[in-house]
Chain A
C-alpha cells in the first residue's frame, strides 16, 4: 500500500474509534448498521465480484448467524464470544452444505439454486415455531457481557461498548478478507471469474475453489448476522427474506464490485441515503429507488469505479 493510503486508513480508524465521543447513540447505531452490512457485502462480493458467482440467497447465512447466536445466548451461555462464534460457525456449516450443491452450477442456475435454498431457510425460520418463534421471531436475546470467566467481564448494555466490540471484530475480519483476496487463492478466484476453462486446464479443481469461496462468503454473512442479534435483542424471519439478500447485492453494485473497498463504500451509501430520504418523504421507496437507479445507470463500476476512471482521465 502507498504511504498516503495507509495514512488515510489510519485516520479513518481513528475517527471510528473516537466516534462515541462525537456522535449520539443513534449515529452509533447507524454506523453499527454500516459496519454489519459492510461485512455482509464484502463476503458476498468475494463470490460475486471476485469469483463471478451471483448469489440471491445470502440472507440464509445472515439469518442463520443471527438465529444461532440468539439461541445460544438465550439458552446455552450468557457470554458474548461463544454466542457470536457459535452463530458464525452455524452459518459457515450451512454454507458448506448449501455450497456443495450450488457450486455444481454457474450463471443463472447457480443464482436460482441459492435463491431456492434461501427461501428454504426463510420458510424454516417462519414455520419452525418451537425453535424460531415463528413470525414473532426470537425474542429476549440478551446483549451478553464480553467475558472470560475469572479473568474479566465487560458489560455490553451501553450501545457504545457494543460498538467497540463490533468495530474491532469488523476491522479484524476486513483485514482477514483483504489478506485472502490478495493471496494466490484470491488470484485463482479472479482467474475463475475471467476464464474458468483456462484455469481448469491449468489443473486447478475449480469446483473446490468455488466451494471454498462460498464457505468463506457464508462465514462473513454469518458473522454479520451474529453481530446483529445481540444489538437488536430480537431476530425475525425478515432477516432471511430475499429482500435481505438483495442488500449486499445493491451495496456491492453501488460501491463497485471489482474493488475491495467497493462494498464498504456501497454499504455506507446505501444506509445513509435511506436514512436521509425517509426524513423528507413518506414516499421514500420511490425517491430511494430513483436515486439508486441513477447511481447504478450513471456510474459504471459503482462509485469507487467511477472515481478511479475519473482519476485516470485527470492524469491523461
Chain B
C-alpha cells in the first residue's frame, strides 16, 4: 500500500482513564447518617425510602428525608451537593432512562470526589450505559446496583414490597462498607462485559 492509500482511524487514540475517584468506606454503618437523593423520576422516592427503612432494620442508621433534584436531565445544583455533604454516605435514584442515568452517574461522581461514599440505583436496562460512563469518568468500580425494569408503571407498594429486595439492600451495605479496591473488582466491567 502506498502512503497516499493509508486509511486513518476515525476513533480517538486516547480513551477513558483507569484511575478511580472512589472514596474510602467505613467498616460499619452503625451510627452512620445516610442521605437520599432522588432525581424525581416516578417511584424513585419510594424506592429510596424503602431501602432506607430496610437499612435501619439492620444497623443503627439515621436516614434523611428525600432530597429532590429539580430535573433528572441535568446535574444536581451545587447547593444540593453541599446539603448532601453532611451525610456519611448517599444513595441516589435512579437511572431508568438515558439522560437520567447519565446525570445520576455524574452526581454520584461529584459526591465520591467530595469524599461521600455513594451508591447508584439503576434499572437493569441502563446499567451498561451507567457503567460505560462511570468507567470513562475516572470512576470504575462505582457501585451501580440494578433493579428490575420497568419501574415507572408499578404502584408504590409494589416498589416497596417487591422491587426493593433483600438482595439489593444487602448489596447496598456491602457497597458502603467495602474498600475501593474490592468495589473495583466487584463492579469493574460488571455490566459492560455483558455487551
Asked if A and B are interacting partners, one says: no
Binding site for A on B (CB under 8 A): none
Binding site for B on A (CB under 8 A): none
